Structures are given as structure tokens and as C-alpha cells.
Structure 1
Amino acid sequence: MHQPEETNAPAQENTQDGTQDDARAIRALWAEMARGWAAGDAALFAASFAEECDFTTVRGDKPPGRTGIEAGHDALFHGPYAGTVLDARVVAVRFLRPDLATVEAESTITAPDGESLATTHALAVVERTAERHWSIRAFHNMIPAPRPAQQAPDSRESTVNAPAVNEPAARPKLRHLAIVARDPEKLAEFYSSVFAMELFHRDPDGSCFLSDGYLSLALIKHQLDGDTPVGFNHFGFHIEDTAATTEALLAAGTPKPAERFTNRPFAEYRAMDPEGNWFDLSEHGFGGPRPPTDSTGS
């Protein structure tokens, strides 16, 4: 197992109110975390944090201080991250005053075989005690969102006109699930009230179509005289090129997708996997509201 990278690599530092020694001591906190992680030693990992540290995980959980941080990481070191290595990199140190600074740090968790399992970005507040020891007082961890594709310099399109999630992309997206229901209206009310899904279409037979802004859910009315059983029925992919997808399906030995003759603005083709499970293919998407965006575009 390779050793974690030391965190004394060059980083942005505003040392107007702090010394180079202070900056090195702050970076050493992350080096200590990496050593504790590599050793599977939760106590050593947690030692960089103040006893009452305000810690927020990538899931939004808030373990109670250093003891909670230690307990949570002990479970990780004996569970999903056993034998892994943490590469912790301090990106920037900014002193707010001589005894207080903010830190931006990036971390990568690597499996024993070298595979990268996760990358996180954290913003932390560190404080120097009266004994001149630095510790992390607040730590907010997150998984960074994928960077959007860069537009050409002469592009006049605003980011608000960028393709929405419901528009095609190079990789097929799973965007649709269908359930055959005895009472679609009652089931639609359930998913609307419990999971805040939005009803955006209703067929004359009572079938209901909902969306969470990303994935559409079809609740198809069960026909008592039909052969289709109640429950999960099919799923659907949003694709960019029907011809290319058809060619790939035929090469995989599955039947050619069948065109769906319907006046509803949903999937254009129905296909089947090697075990007979149905799925839809659509270039134009599956309808429903687009995901909300705020004024920052985040």
C-alpha cells in the first residue's frame, strides 16, 4: 500500500496575519488525518479536530464533535473504507487574524488496488489555541459537482439556455420508470405528497405521469381483462442517436427496437434486454418539469 501524499505541497497562502510556520502547522493537520486514515486509526484521524468541532459530512450528517468524528470514521475504517488511503491536499490557507484561518482542502480516497473511490472538497475553519496548537474548529465536506462543458469563446448562448437534464447527452440516461397500478390516482397522490413529485400528465383511462424534475414515473392503469400484471413494467433511456443505439442492441443479440405508434409525446421505441425486460428509447425525452435552478445556476 502506498503512503498518503504529504500535504506540504505548494498551496495558496495569505500570510499577512499569520506566519509561514503557522501555515505549515495548519497543513500538518491534514497530513495527520491522512496518516490516521492509512493506519485505520480513527483516534489519530480525529486528533486534528477540536473537541467541539462543527463537522458536516458529505451527506449532511453532523457527528457530535471529535468523539462523533472518531466513531464515524472508525465505522468507515472497519467497513467500506477498510484498507484505503486518503490523499489530503491543502489548496488554500487564508488568515483572518493571527490565530484564525480558513482552509480549502481536496481529498481523494484510494482503494488498495489504486482505484480512486471518491473525491471531496472541504472548507474548514482552524484556530490556534493559547498553547499555540492549531486545530480544526469547523469542517464542511462536500462532493464537487461535475464541471459543465466549456463554451467556445465566441458562443453567444447564455448559460440559462444550456441543455437541461431532460435533453439528450452522449451517454444514455435512465430517465423513466413505469408501474402498472390498480389505482393510479391514489398512487400519484402518494408520490406527490410523500416525495413532492409533480403530476404533469393524465391519460383518459386514468394513467398518471409524474416527475421529480429528472426522472418521469408512469403509473399505468391496470386493465382487469388484460394480461399485464400489476407492478413494475418497464424503464426508459433518454438517448442521443436512435440509429446508433439500435446498432448496438443488434450487435448485442437483442431484437431490433419496435416503433411505438402513439400520439403521446413520450418514448418513440420499445426494446428488450437479453432476459426479456422491456425498456423504452427516446431522443426527445419523457416529458415533465425541468429541475429548478436558482439565480446562481447551481
Structure 2
Amino acid sequence: MHEPDTPTGTGAQEGIRAIRALWDTMARGWAAGDAARFAASFAQDCDFTTVRGGRPAGRPGIESGHAALFRGPYAGTALETDVRAIRFLRPDLATVDAESTVSTTGGVVLARTHALAVVERTATRPWLIRAFHNMIPLPPGAQQAPRPEEFTVTEPTPRPKLRHLAIVARAPEELAEFYASVFAMELFHREPDGSCFLSDGYLTLALIKHRLDGETPMGMNHFGFHVENTDDVSAALVAAGTPEPAERSTSRPYAEYRAIDPEGNWFDLSAHGFGGPRPTAGPTPT
């Protein structure tokens, strides 16, 4: 553990202990699956940013978001925190550089995050986190590559982008938990029959409940393209000798049109996208 950069004196040392206690409280709340205890370290109006760019509304939003995590992909996990540096800007205001690791009870690491926080103490309350900006650090030696503008869910470019896969599953909710816990995908829609829709911010994954009395086979069912203009692509498909795409209408997060390729593979066309979070949103560790 790195020693914090702080002014000397008894008051500073007390501040260090109190600030470290905030992260200890988070870890204990996480281990207990207690979202209220986890959120107690944050100010009521904390400016919180998740690793995917989500912005929960203060302490209530932080508590609500983590309650969902503790019920879902991070149930039964542990949070290890490491306050690596504290810099006092004033005796009552400091920045904190901290790292966190989420692990299973068996010691399997699910996520590592790095946060820069601002903590404050007032005359009427103890130290609390006023701002918290979280991120997933790059691996050692990795270089940050610029993100092409074409990689977006809501602003398609002229070239169609493959943005959707659908799988017919026996137990879609269990499969959704698998993809959420192992690959940090975000569950953004659930059907009454248990079908689940997840996203990694770029591609949506539909896990469709298999019906015992149905003829639909298990496994891969269809895929989908995010396009700039469905009319243009439809015309190109007809010109290529395939049937004209059929319009779809449903409350599910479906695409607008269903089409078929020359070998009978089904695929969707959508100009509005396939739902789910933007590349910087969704349930994440903290």
C-alpha cells in the first residue's frame, strides 16, 4: 500500500484514518450485500460516475444501483479496496486515488477498477465522498487506442454494423447471469417468459426462452445489423434476389425489419439500434 501525500500533524493523521474508513465501509457493505451500508460513504448529492459512464443520482442512485448488483451478477462477491494516495487540498478537502478488486468467494477476480475521488469534511458532518470517478485501468504496458467514431450504438455510419445476436436458450436467466458476471454485460430488458436482453455497450445479446412445444432449435437464432437507412438496405436486398424484409411490430426491443439471406439465415435491420446502454453505461462493479 502506498503512503499518502499529506501535510504533517495530528489533524492530518486523523483525516487519513477517517478517509480510509470510507473505503473500509464500502468493502464491508459489499461483503454483506448491504447497499445502504456501501452507499453510506457517499454524500447525499455525490457526483458519481461508473466505469461505463453511468451517472446515478447521488447517494440514493448509488444505493439503488448497487442493490441491483448485489442481487444479480455480484451476489456473494467481495470488494478489496486499496487507498493508494491521499492529497489534501485544504485541511477539509482532499483527493483520493484508490483501486478496487471484485472477487468471488473462491478468489476468482471478476473486475478491477481505479477511482479518483474528492472527499470533504464540514463542521457538521464527518468526511464523505463528494465526487467519485471510476474506470477500468488498462493492462500494464497497454496503449490506449483511439475509439473510431463509427463504433456507436445510436449514431450509425453508412456501412451497416453487426450489433445484435440472438440465442435460443433453455434457461435464459441463468445464462444472462453467466454473461453478466463473466463478461460484465448489462441486463437491460427481461420478458415475462424469462427471455433476457443484455449489452456490452456495442452489441446486444438476446437470450430467448426455448418453448418445449416449439420447433425452434436451440442455439444461434438470428443476428442483426444497425444501418443508416432501412429503405436503402431493403432495396439492395431485393436487388440481390432475396425477399423484401418484413416489418416487425412488438413491445420487445426488436429491430424494425426481419430479412433472410440466400441460404435461409435470418437477420434483422434497424435504424434506431437494438437497445441497451451506450458504450459507457450499465451495471458495473462500482
> What is the TM-score of this pair, normalised by structure 1?
0.51
User: Residues 78 and 97 from structure 1, CA distance in 2 versus in 1: closer, same or farther, beyond 3 angstroms?
Assistant: same
* Alpha-carbon distance in structure 2 between the residues aligned to 1:193 and 1:126: 35
Segments of 5+ residues of structure 1 without an aligned counterpart are 1-8, 151-158, 167-190, 200-208, 233-298
Query: Could you say what secondary structure the match of 1:195 adopts?
Result: coil
Contact 1:76 1:82 in 2 (8 A): yes
Contact 2:84 2:97 in 1 (8 A): yes
The answer on 1:12 being equivalent to 2:12 is: no
Match of 1:195 in 2: 155
Contact 2:2 2:85 in 1 (8 A): no
Query: Could you say what secondary structure the match of 2:5 adopts?
Result: strand
The CA deviation at 1:64 is 1.5
1:172-201, Cα deviation, whole Å (9 max, x unpaired): xxxxxxxxxxxxxxxxxxx999533354xx
In structure 2, what residue type is equivalent to 1:145?
Answer: L
Identical columns (%): 56
Match of 1:35 in 2: 28
Between the two proteins, the alignment pairs up a number of residues equal to 179
> What is the TM-score of this pair, normalised by structure 2?
0.53
Match of 2:52 in 1: 59
Match of 2:87 in 1: 94
Match of 2:77 in 1: 84
For 1:139-158, list aligned pairs within 5 A: 139-149=132-142
Contact 1:104 1:123 in 2 (8 A): yes
User: Residues 192 and 221 from structure 1, CA distance in 2 versus in 1: closer, same or farther, beyond 3 angstroms?
Assistant: farther
* Alpha-carbon distance in structure 2 between the residues aligned to 1:12 and 1:67: 30
1:121 to 114, 125, 141: 114
User: Residues 227 and 46 from structure 1, CA distance in 2 versus in 1: closer, same or farther, beyond 3 angstroms?
Assistant: closer
The answer on 1:72 being equivalent to 2:89 is: no
Query: Could you say what secondary structure the match of 2:14 adopts?
Result: helix
* Alpha-carbon distance in structure 2 between the residues aligned to 1:124 and 1:43: 19
Greater RCO structure (CA 8 Å; 6+ sep): 2
2:263 to 216, 222, 228: 228
1:230-273, Cα deviation, whole Å (9 max, x unpaired): 645xxxxxxxxxxxxxxxxxxxxxxxxxxxxxxxxxxxxxxxxx
Q: CA RMSD in A?
A: 3.7
2:126 to 133, 137, 153: 133
* Alpha-carbon distance in structure 1 between the residues aligned to 2:262 and 2:60: 58
